[in-house]
Chain A
């Protein structure tokens, strides 16, 4: 079953490291947005997309800038147009600095059953460096409110390899996170993406990010601590308690179909070898297209057998589950060794092959961008 992604491209202010599409918008603009999404959903139905959806994901931007009623309106539109599968996973990304107990309660009542909180760090100093709205105390309060509002599937973001961070700092952060006992954790090493304020300060020498040795040590430390606390490291940046892996995101890495609604959202159709679509990240243009009843999506790429095979491997090797020779054989008529005999040999040190499944070791994940090149 397909997933649905709803892009909410609004932020109160941009964080220094973020290169996702979002804009600082007025409350009025935000209030008008659900109506646009509803129109877009209607249009997508006419374009041959079909439901029901097994997963829904409100991503951003800052989806928690939407009022609970707005979320409710949107989910109703989803139900009306495509329908929701039984026990659908419905996630909302929330910024701890923008939530209250009533708003979280409202989201829960509107049907959100998985909350992803952008906690990022438990260090006031680091939260400031990252340009976040919240501090440590407000972060903890938000977690408590989420629980009080009834969220029993809670994900927290953790950033590591932060400017000036030491191993001890990270250990302390990990201790705090484990104390909060989330069902799911997304752990990202901070990278200076092009055209972000963070990259500018690094380039100007105002900030320095830890070197790749620290990044690697930190990545492995996070792995060790979380795995021994009972989390599965199920994707390069994601950990979950048994049964709590994010089904929506797994869909991306398994090349399942997903419909992306909203300015800046991407979609993937499974048609013969797959095609990926994009609504350009331009709110005004998006609004105009919809008001003119024009299709806002445009095709980014269409796959053939060979490119689909490459991308299947590229995505699957990000996950612990990896890729199975039987599945490859069924879909593409080759095993991994048949398709890439030399690569399998040269990556041998980082590849594990257990029960028909190929996957990368954590040390291999650290070199993912390098190891994956020959498959592309």
Chain B
């Protein structure tokens, strides 16, 4: 296919600003969906994606469009995930495009989440053009929002398309704008093959399905290919496009987007960002931007019912088939029994995996507090990576501990700069730079310990900036730090699953707040429950949950017996979600209480 007739684009939008509805309309307008298929949010296939309004996996859909200029075009819509945890994946999806629609709610205006992705798109040299959506709402203020886009993002919004995806307004104008404004791909169809992998997933019948953007050259069934980063070779079994249903085609040429299968067994072999080339005529250099994504946040996942252990392992194995950034290995806790230490990209990723395990696989879980990987040098000079507080050696064996630092860039309107600086200082940050992007838009750059970020930095940032701050970060280095293990004792017994690694200066405060928070989560039991926080043998904080005094149904006569007994049976079912530690029943939230601890200066 001629590259002049191809447009590759993606849609950038804040949650609820109408990305999925717009995608549905574009599919409908180009005849990609039959009436029967016009379900809402066609592209968000997972329940979780629909409910939370976020896209977790990337998608690529080919739309055939007959333009007003009389030409037929192929428009490839590449739908990207949208959250700071998936920044790398988003950047690869974007680099498969030449342009992006920036969808902004015409009454809400520009929101923070959009910004990070717009900047990513600009970094990838994409042509970004704004669409003012939900124009049908009485509260729509297109002129104000237009000005906002120009001021905050610095994009020319004078000819922004005005639309209502819900009402079907402006859809043709958007399609025309895609054709007119987004540049055509400019690859070398005759050059050695270079195709970018921007997502992959496991299919039980075909093995791994790989989404690719061909940059140079072409891909055909039967080609011997090589993945340049992992150096493995495969033979292509199938080449196709999603339109939106999979259709096999003969070849994908420069500028095109589609999928391949090649007997790749695991998604870990088809890493996002890797370059596909031919074995016989390989490209000299891989496409830029490839990174090996490593889990940054670790936590323990345990089945509430220890009988569910095998089910949990099976479920995790299934999830890993489709998620190369999720890792797990068996772990054993005195308090929780057998479970797994799992690695995630970030907190949202952790929440998503946890929710999918509970929902899709029906396993009730206890999640322990997230932690980062520390480097410990023992007094004997051995280097240990510690991804769990319980693996931290006793203090007398520790030579030094190092913790990972990140370089965080916070985009924020200037009225919130003071609050952001205060937060970064509180989180032990080291200021690098404060840049004024526009008169009202500031970029605050800090070096921050990752362990502070995984607790509640992101939530706090969102709250203090009323959602307007956006966060992007990259990994920097490891730095020596004064870290200690904070233990929690319940009725005098150490509960290993509750241990945390914290900075010495914060231990006292965190300990106090943690036990106070746990007190809120632990329901009254038949006896008093003492919660203590300790460093080594020294107790630094204590709270107690008073013994339950009263829990009784006063009346129980002939007409009450069945109903009231059934209520009790339901309660009993509910209690199964609690974890028995010693003789104390702890609810799931108690294990994540540290995430709910509010800090003060």
CB proximity to A under 8 Å, residues B524-581: 526, 548-559, 561-562, 565, 568-569, 571-572, 575
Interface SS of chain B: helix, strand, loop or mixed? loop
Q: Contacts A237-B554, A373-B571: A366 and B559 contacting too (C-beta < 8 A)?
A: no
The 8 Å CB contact of B555, one of A215, A237, A346, A365, is: A237
- Say yes or no: A276 contacts B552, CB within 8 Å: no
Residue of B nearest to A217 (CB): B549
CB–CB A318/B558 < 8 A: no
A370 and B526 contacting across the interface, CB-CB below 8 Å: yes
Q: How far is the CA of A293 from the CA of B359 in the complex (A)?
A: 48
The distance from the CB of A341 to the nearest CB of chain B, in whole angstroms, is 16
Report chain A residues within 8 Å CB of B569: 376
Q: Which of the segments A67-75, A80-88, A123-131, A257-265 contacts the partner chain? A: A257-265
Decide: A373 near B558, CB < 8 A? Known: A367-B552, A368-B552.
no
- Report yes or no: B552 in contact with A366, Cβ–Cβ below 8 A: yes
* Residue pair A266, B550 in contact (C-beta under 8 Å): no
Nearest residue (CB) in A for B567 is A369
Q: Which residues of A contact B559 (CB under 8 A)?
A: 5, 7, 20, 260, 264-266, 278
Min CB gap A37→B, angstroms: 16
Taking CB as reference atom, which chain B residue is nearest A187? B554
- B residues near A188, Cβ cutoff 8 Å: 554-555
**Is A268 an interface residue when CB atoms closer than 8 A count as contact?**
yes
Measured between alpha carbons, how far is A299 from B46 in the docked complex, in Å?
Answer: 41
Q: Which of B549, B558, B565, B568 has the most CB of A within 10 A?
A: B558
Bound complex: CA A314 to CA B571 (Å) = 15
CB of B295, distance to nearest CB on chain A (Å): 40
Q: Is the CB of B554 within 8 A of A189?
A: yes
B 23-67 contacts with A by CB, 8 A: none
Partner of B558, one of A5, A219, A311: A5
- Is the beta-carbon distance between B526 and A215 smaller than 8 angstroms? no
B550 contacts A318, C-beta separation under 8 Å: no
B468 to chain A, nearest CB (A): 34
Please tell me if the beta carbons of A219 and B557 are within 8 angstroms of each other in the complex.
no
| Smallest beta-carbon distance A233→chain B, Å | 13
A365 touches B572 (CB 8 A): no
Q: How far is the CB of B574 from the nearest CB of chain A, in Å?
A: 10
Interface positions, chain B 435-494, Cβ under 8 Å from A, are: none
Contact between A252 and B551 (Cβ–Cβ < 8 Å)? no
Query: In the complex, what residues of B have CB within 8 A of residue A367's CB?
Result: 526, 548-552
A215 to chain B: which residues have CB within 8 Å?
A: 549-550
Point out the residues of chain A lying under 8 angstroms from B554, CB to CB: 188-189, 191, 236-237
Q: From A235, which residue of chain B is reached at the shortest CB distance?
A: B556
Among A213, A276, A376, the one with the most B-chain Cβ atoms within 10 Å of its Cβ is A376
Given A318-B556, A370-B526, A373-B572: A276 and B551 interface contact (C-beta under 8 Å): no
In angstroms, how far is the closest chain B Cβ from the Cβ of A338?
A: 21
Contacts of A315 in B (CB 8 A): 556, 561
Closest to B565 in A: A314
Residues of B close to A133: CB separation below 8 A: none
Question: Are B555 and A216 in contact, CB atoms less than 8 angstroms apart?
Answer: no
Q: Mark A189-224, 1 if CB is under 8 A from B, else 0.
A: 101000000000000000000001101100100000
- Interface centre among A188, A366, A373, by most B CB within 10 Å? A373
Determine if A216 and B549 form an interchain contact, defined as CB atoms under 8 angstroms apart.
Answer: yes
Assess whether A167 is interfacial by the CB under 8 Å rule.
no
Interface centre among B552, B559, B569, B572, by most chain A C-beta atoms within 10 angstroms, is B552
Beta-carbon contact of A212 and B550 below 8 Å:
yes
Chain B residues within 8 Å of A20, by CB = 559
CA A239 to CA B426, docked complex, whole Å: 62
Asked whether B556 lies within 8 Å of A366 as measured between CB atoms, the reply is no
Which residues of A have CB within 8 Å of B561? 252, 266, 268, 276, 311, 315
Report B-chain residues with C-beta under 8 Å of the C-beta of A368. 551-553
Interfacial chain B residues near A373, Cβ < 8 Å: 568, 571-572, 575
| Chain A 334-348 interface mask (CB, 8 Å, partner B; 1/0) | 000000000000100
Q: At the interface, yes or no: A300 with Cβ under 8 Å from chain B?
A: yes
- Cβ 8 A contact of A216, one of B526, B550, B558, B583: B550
Which chain A residues lie closer than 8 Å to B568 at the CB level?
A: 314, 369, 372-373, 376
A249 within 8 A of B: yes
Rounded to whole angstroms, the CA-CA distance of A180 and B155 in the bound complex is 86
A290 interface residue (CB < 8 Å to B) = no
Flag if B550 contacts A366 (CB, 8 Å).
yes
Distance (Å) between the CB of B137 and the closest chain A CB? Answer: 33
A155–B562 Cα gap in the complex (Å)? 25
Contacts of B552 in A (CB 8 A): 189, 219, 236, 365-369
Q: Which residues of B contact A249 (CB under 8 A)?
A: 557
Minimum distance in angstroms from A299 CB to a CB of chain B: 11
B204-234 residues at the A interface, CB under 8 angstroms: none
Within 8 A of A (CB), among B321-340: none
For residue A301, CB closer than 8 A to chain B, the reply is: yes
How far, in whole Å, are A215 and B553 apart by their CA atoms in the complex? 12
Residues of A242-278 at the interface with B, using a CB-CB cut-off of 8 Å, are 249, 252-253, 258, 260, 264-266, 268, 276, 278
Contact A300–B551 (Cβ < 8 Å): no
Residues of chain B lying within 8 A (CB to CB) of residue A278: 559, 562
Across the interface, name the chain B residue whose C-beta is closest to A373. B572
From B548, B553, B571, residue with most partner A Cβ within 10 Å? B553
Chain A residues, CB < 8 A from B571: 369, 373
A residues with CB within 8 A of B = 5, 7, 20, 59, 188-189, 191, 212-213, 215-216, 219, 236-237, 249, 252-253, 258, 260, 264-266, 268, 276, 278, 300-301, 311, 314-315, 318, 346, 349, 365-374, 376
Q: Please list 28 pairs of residues, one from A and one from B, whose beta carbons are closer than 8 Å in the complex, sorted by A's number.
A: A5-B558, A188-B555, A189-B554, A212-B548, A213-B550, A219-B552, A236-B554, A236-B556, A252-B557, A258-B558, A260-B558, A265-B558, A265-B559, A266-B559, A276-B562, A314-B565, A315-B561, A346-B583, A366-B551, A367-B550, A368-B553, A370-B526, A370-B548, A372-B568, A373-B568, A373-B575, A374-B572, A376-B568
Given contacts A216-B550, A311-B561, 16 further A-B contacts (CB under 8 A): A5-B558, A188-B554, A191-B554, A212-B549, A219-B552, A260-B559, A265-B559, A268-B558, A276-B562, A314-B565, A315-B561, A346-B583, A367-B548, A370-B526, A370-B548, A373-B572
